[in-house]
Amino acid sequence: MVSTALEYDTSLRLADFAPPATAPHDAAHESTHASTHPAAHDRSSRQASKALLSDDLLERIGLRAASYDQENRFFAEDLDELKQAGFLRASVPVELGGLGLTLPELIREQVRLASRAPATALALNMHQYWIGAALHLLRHGDDSARWILSEAAAGKVFAAGHGEPGNDLGLAHSFVKATPLGDGSYRFEGRKIFTSLAPAWDWLGVHGKDDSDPDHPKIVHAFIRRDAPGHRTVKTWDTLGLRATQSDDTLLEGVVATADRVIRVLPAGVPNDPFVDGILGAVLPGLAAVYFGVAKRAFDLALVSAKSRSSALLQGRSYAYKPFTQKTVAEAAIELDSIEALLERVADRWWAGYPADEPWIARLLAAKQHAVDGAVRVVDLSLQIAGAGALSKRAELERLYRDVRAGAFHPPNADASHEVIGQAWLGILGTV
């Protein structure tokens, strides 16, 4: 039903979207999308008028991006500075040692970071979505993932180990073997692909299949420590774009997740759990923010080029006075405005809480899909505006042109996203 596409960092697929209408009838799950803690909504009002990431910091990060790309090197210096700035604990509640940013506030910072260093922003979205999932649970009275927030506040880095070769069922399935050890802990064996933050993670969130009872297989969601024996990184990352993410493969060779770090054991198949909901509510707007930031930067560079290039045809006036330039700028500006409007609306609504009967997954997927598709269009238009000079390997636009292409491969891909959105609105999600 869903065409298989290259996975990137998290293998969320059509099978991952359980329809709220078929959820078990218990108040705890039905309130997943409507906060029971109103105070959490304005927890970070003190940050609302002030950007977390300074212009000076973003300028330094932007100046390093080209060398990371050229050398296919991890963004170690960016990570150090962003840790110091509090970005990795930005949405952790203040009372747990974080800065208490809301999702809409975090999204705005992610856009700003992505506009200068797309790979850095993309990789750190994989950290941020674990924080978002844990926060989602905490805001609805479930502290089973509270430790994630505490660890993030202490400076620990989280990465995602969801992608697997050939697994187009995503979190509904796994080729990684999860063996129960009798005390609540699990041993994991298998291969994970596209592990962004591979050189730097402290905790790797993984899922695997426990088929010790063949009639009732389970999907185990757990976290493994970097210093635990039984895993290793295999250098595989040499790609068209987003090179600084260093999303290498991870071999799980008997690594054990202790019982206190096993966060969910769910029936195999379509996951229907607030923790998975929280992952989606964080990762999809975050992806949209990254590609919106790429598009914004490309547009800004194109405007500078159009106003600085002189035209002999126009007797020395700039290309800004050419009708073609004006039309192309208008097309890009309209696209950008629509991406921003949908992203902000979806982030605001998720944070405030969707009604139980609203197709929230359709909203989230729409924001992500519109952003990645629209960003490609904006970047392509920006190259037309800037002219042939943008093709130079020394040009930032050339790198943005490559980086933005990765958006098509973030699961769920376009085909899967459109299927889920359509089925959600038609009321048949999970029945076809």
User: What dihedral do alpha carbons 314, 378, 119, 169 form, nearest 10°?
Assistant: -160
> C-alpha angle 121/127/131, rounded to 5°?
125
The domains of the chain, with CATH numbers, are: 1-6+14-157+272-432 (1.20.140.10), 161-267 (2.40.110.10)
Type of residue numbered 365: L
> In terms of Cα–Cα distance, which of 49, 103, 53, 116 is closest to 82?
53
Q: Give yes or no for a contact between 152 and 88, defined as CB atoms under 8 angstroms apart.
A: yes
Q: What is the pLDDT, as a whole number, of residue 48?
A: 44
342 contacts: CB under 8 Å, gap ≥ 6: 366, 367, 370, 371
H-run or E-run covering 208 = strand 203-210
Decide: helix, strand or coil at residue 264: strand
Q: What is the pLDDT of residues 362-390, one digit of tens each?
A: 999 999 999 999 999 999 999 999 999 99
Dist CA 267 CA 269 (whole Å) = 6
Q: What is the pLDDT of residues 278-288, one digit of tens each?
A: 999 999 999 99
Dist CA 289 CA 295 (whole Å) = 10
Q: Which residues pair with 188 in a beta bridge?
A: 178, 255
Q: How many C-beta neighbours within 10 Å does residue 156 have?
A: 18
Per-residue pLDDT in tens (0 to 9) along the chain, 432 residues: 333 233 333 344 444 444 443 333 333 344 444 444 433 434 434 444 479 999 999 999 999 999 999 999 999 999 999 999 999 999 999 999 999 999 999 999 999 999 999 999 999 999 999 999 999 999 999 999 999 999 999 999 999 999 999 998 889 999 999 999 999 999 999 999 999 999 999 999 999 999 999 999 999 999 999 999 999 999 999 999 999 999 999 999 999 999 999 999 999 998 889 999 999 999 999 999 999 999 999 999 999 999 999 888 988 999 999 999 999 999 999 999 999 999 999 999 999 999 888 999 999 999 999 999 999 999 999 999 999 999 999 999 999 999 999 999 988 888 889 999 999 999 998 766
Q: Name the phi and psi angles at 192, rounded to 5.
A: -110, 145
pTM: 0.89
Dist CA 400 CA 118 (whole Å) = 8
Q: What is the pLDDT, as a whole number, of residue 432?
A: 60
Q: Give yes or no for a contact between 122 and 168, defined as CB atoms under 8 angstroms apart.
A: no
Dist CA 153 CA 130 (whole Å) = 13
H-run or E-run covering 84 = helix 76-85
Instruction: Return the structure tokens found at 254.
Output: 């008997």
**Rg of the chain on CA atoms, in Å:** 22
| Cα torsion 271, 276, 281, 283: sign | negative
